[in-house]
A and B are shown apart, each in its own frame.
Chain A
């Protein structure tokens, strides 16, 4: 047990918040991150994929949209017929697989991050309101949560995408309006705990309005747990985007998306298994990396509370 944890320094309620932001705490956090093997592996893989996505226009060997039917279904380099021109081969339209993979990373990441920004805002707003105000507001919001949970995401997303037509914008909006449940659950639970905390009582007795308390006192303290939820939900959103695109109601061709690439390769997988294996492995790696970072964040921030 950390001996520092037993010694409670004397600080006024107004300074207590600042205590957590002091440089030593940060440095300790960074050391913990560096010592967490799973998180470091996750960060490394994620870093490479994010870098590849940013640099896609620079490092892509070919135009991802350039079709060359005479070279369709060229196998990747480790096959006997493969070559250096198309390192990961070409798809059924003769488009370079590596270039499409690199640009596909952008689609996954953008959809994952933007949709979670929307759903996170919705979920946290509802969760803080429910947790802080309690009573009827809590009951109503909980009711909406039950409604949301009793409709499978895939079914609702498919039905709406079929009416609205699949596109990046539609996928982002759909996921943004569907994936707020975990944000709500977590921010509601933490807010309920915080509501009883002394610094909240202090703010209340100083005459702070509920809105001020929610925004300035509670929200900053939610950041740790919310970062964990957000990471894991980005992974969730990326998987759902891939599934929607795989089913033909997400990102539309010719735009490259890893889920769509699996769908387009499905008809050829019996003779060219690499055509579904490559984008699939990329999806697994990306989601795995994000999950590892999320789990790592949970471990690293949880230690703060325990010791």
Chain B
């Protein structure tokens, strides 16, 4: 178990290094940064001045390792656009994105697990068909469009919730629905297929034969085993949600990390973009590790063999 996690951890560090290298070269090799910062009307002298001021005239490897060296100490340099440091900017915006991500994931799980269980228990029944239909539609819906439709229905027509902003908890309702809807189908299908697998297992038949009530069998015996892969997937989905929140935050004007990334991309604020790519990768890798660890903890077979 410990070996397994240590091995994963060392791979994770190597992966992060590569992501850092890619994020760095993506932004540095694909265009003249100094010209981009100086703006379209800048003279050659201004561009050269900017180049020197931001240290862009130093050799690429030097720039990369300097950046990486400080990034390890959580110092991501200064924003080209704002006066503040990148760390401060990210620190301010992070809570909103995290709240959005966690709430969306919980929402997705609260809907997906019961639906998946019911769909498996009443296989080919009304609930099974309905949830299948919902998930097929859900996977076909672009989340930016679904978000706009939610705004049209709940904010404009029914006037129940605000259109945009981040003043109160009400502002998080529609974005969370929009973000969770995308993760729901996969979680639901996995719960359903996991339950169906477990139902055919011997110990469930034994439990049923003992005369245990149906609910106990389903929840205590079957769900506990079917939930393992769902938990692992949920951790990974949270990582995907942090990426997906760019679009959702942009639509609902939530001032989170996604919005910051989006604005910084538009403003050529490369230190911020690099930092966010790296931070999201850290989250994703940490969450996949967590998913692996959780599966290992919950599944005695994995615990022994790992």
Contact = CB atoms under 8 A, between A and B. Distances in A.
B273 interface: yes
B280 A155 contact: yes
B148 A266 contact: yes
Nearest to B250: A247
Taking chain A's interface residues, is the majority helix, strand, or loop, or is none over half, making it mixed? helix
Interface in A130-156: 143, 146-147, 149-156
**Chain A residues touching B, range:** 35 or more
A164 B30 contact: yes
Interface string A287-299: 1100110010000
Taking chain B's interface residues, is the majority helix, strand, or loop, or is none over half, making it mixed? helix
A183 to B, nearest CB: 18
A231 interface: no
A259 B142 contact: yes
Interface in A141-185: 143, 146-147, 149-156, 158-160, 162-164
Contacts of A152: 240, 242-244, 246, 280, 284
A288 B140 contact: yes
Contacts of B140: 235, 284-285, 287-288, 291
A251 interface: no
A291 B136 contact: yes
Interface string B1-34: 0000000000100111011001100110011000
A24 to B, nearest CB: 30
B27 A246 contact: no
Nearest to A160: B26
Nearest to A146: B15
B149 A280 contact: yes
A235 B36 CA distance: 34
Contacts of B139: 287, 291
Given A243-B144, A276-B145, A147 B19 contact: yes
B246 A154 contact: yes
A160 B30 contact: yes
B227 interface: no
Given A159-B265, A276-B149, A291-B140, 15 more contacts: A147-B18, A150-B288, A151-B19, A151-B281, A152-B242, A152-B284, A154-B246, A156-B277, A163-B26, A235-B140, A243-B143, A247-B250, A277-B149, A284-B142, A287-B141
Interface of A: 143, 146-147, 149-156, 158-160, 162-164, 235, 239, 242-243, 246-247, 249, 259, 262, 266, 269-270, 273, 276-277, 280, 283-285, 287-288, 291-292, 295
